[in-house]
Amino acid sequence: MEITGTIKEFGELQTFDSGFEKKQLLITTLDKYPKDIAIEFWVKEIPMLDEFEVDQEVKVFINISSKEYNGRYYTNIQGWKIEHLNSENLNSENNETKETKKDLPF
């Protein structure tokens, strides 16, 4: 799955006694009704966040999982890839879609 949005903030790097590390990224979606979504990046994916800044538009590739604990479910959104989202890419994708629709016989 993927989510597109604008980076709102980066969380602090969290390090646990086991050596496990995670860092949270908060993005605001580009939907008609924008939502803030917190995405966790774990251990080896954390360094890829260094090339991004607040207010940049990005596409984040995610996995969603839930775990049950004492009868309650907890959901986690984990990012595994992040890309810059620039208007040039969006415009070229929209133009390709329009051209493809023109070529259809119906």
The residue type of 104 is L
Angle subtended at Cα 80 by Cα 79 and Cα 83, rounded to the nearest 5 degrees: 90
pLDDT of residue 37: 97
% pLDDT > 70, the chain: 81
- d(CA 50, CA 70) in angstroms, rounded, equals 37
> What pLDDT does 85 receive?
85
pLDDT band at 105 (very low <50, low <70, confident <90, very high): low
CATH architecture under which domain 2-103 falls: Beta Barrel (2.40)
Burial status of residue 4 (CB atoms within 10 A of its CB: 0-12, 13-18, 19 or more): middle
